[in-house]
Amino acid sequence: MVIWNPWHGCKKISPGCANCYVYRRDNSIGRDASIVTKTGDFYLPLKKNRQGNLKIKPEDGIIFTCMTSDFFLEEADQWRQDCWDIIRQRQDLSFYIITKRIERFSECIPPDWNDGWDNVTICCTCENQDRADYRLPIFLNLPIKHREMISEPMLEEIDIKKYLEKGLISCVICGGESGAGARPCDFKWIKKVRMDCIRCGVAFTFKQTGAVFIKDGKTYHIDRKNQMPQARKSGYDYIPGANIADNIIYKLPDRKKLFERIGRSNFRSRFRLLQKEKDYISKNGMETIKLHAKEFVKNRLAAESPKNDGQQTPMKGHPVFIAQHATACCCRGCLEKWHNIPAGKTLTTTEQDYIVDVIMEWIDKNID
């Protein structure tokens, strides 16, 4: 990984900028981060060593571009075309540009941009729902070969599924805020975006917890040095088809407490077996119903990313379907929320047996 900062300094434009690390660092050395200046590294990708060879080689990794500013900042309009020239000359390198100014993209690209350059990834940053709803429709309509999205600092729960469904964003990165005055980040917001990514076949990275991290309603203050390792340790990254969620450590809920919780849920507790479902059970017997439950769990829930996840269990038509909704065993989102079983992993036979047992316990309790 290489960082290339052709200019330094930026202007705050949205809520995510409130505690900008560029401002924080500059402030600590008495520098004004709002003054935008060209840096001595402007030609970094073209620099050569004494032997006349280019210093940066493709094996050095991605070139993270403009990390102490915004590439599409108005104040840098006079320099940007020269940067494009450099990027054009280094087609052997991959440049990664993160921006909060995606609306300026069209007026900032070079004349030969056409439908995008292979060596440039644009990452649109959206810290809240308002910015996601403003920036993502613009982002998805631009000629870009490689698109990613980042929500960091993530300031609230965001729903981006309708944008991911377009199949144009290849990866979403989420993380909390660091530094003094950091705003909290709730793990459930992270899990919600991850779930949407899994359902849309999009890679997901949980980059860092941030300094103030909420998990299961408890607030944790996390040292800077632990914020990235903690996120990595959670195992909540997702790569479609890679089954990396198999490494997430979790604990199944206590069965008695689970049924008590379900009983307190207005939505879950309204499910009942009707007479026709009771008749179906007595006609076929509990063993057959259990076989059906096993089949439904295996075919509709067990895959790493089940088809139509969230809608795969009908609301009626079989006693097992009713029991699945009543016990929150109906989709991978509910299994994660109520049973702690992480989404994005292929269910083991032990996990499948657990789910079947919960379903059958509910049916048994509700048959009379």
Q: Rule CB under 6 A: which residues touch ligand SF4?
A: 10, 12-13, 16-17, 20, 22, 69-70, 100
If the CB atoms of residues 16 and 306 are measured against ligand SF4, the closer one turns out to be 16
Angstrom distance (rounded) from CA 333 to CA 306 = 11
Identity of the residue, 22 or 335, whose beta carbon is nearer to ligand SF4 in the bound complex = 22
Strands 37-38 and 7-8: antiparallel
Q: How far is the CB of 188 from ligand SF4 (least distance, A)?
A: 24
In the complex, least distance from residue 100 CB atom to ligand SF4, rounded to whole angstroms: 4
With CA atoms as reference, report the closest residue to 305 among 199, 195, 164. Answer: 199
69 versus 205: smaller Cβ distance to ligand SF4 = 69
Considering the complex, state which of residue 98 and residue 355 has its C-beta at the smaller distance from ligand SF4.
Answer: 98
Q: Burial-class residue 173 by CB neighbours within 10 Å (0-12, 13-18, 19+).
A: buried
Distance CA 138, CA 147 (A): 12
CA–CA dist 57, 316 (Å, integer): 60
Residue 149 or 200 with smaller CB distance to ligand SF4:
149
**In the complex, minimum distance from the CB of residue 35 to ligand SF4, in angstroms, rounded to a whole number:** 12
C-alpha torsion sign, points 42, 45, 49, 53: negative
Give the number of C-alpha atoms closer than 13 A to the C-alpha of residue 211, restricted to the C-beta side: 9
Closest CA to 211 of 138, 150, 286, 153: 153
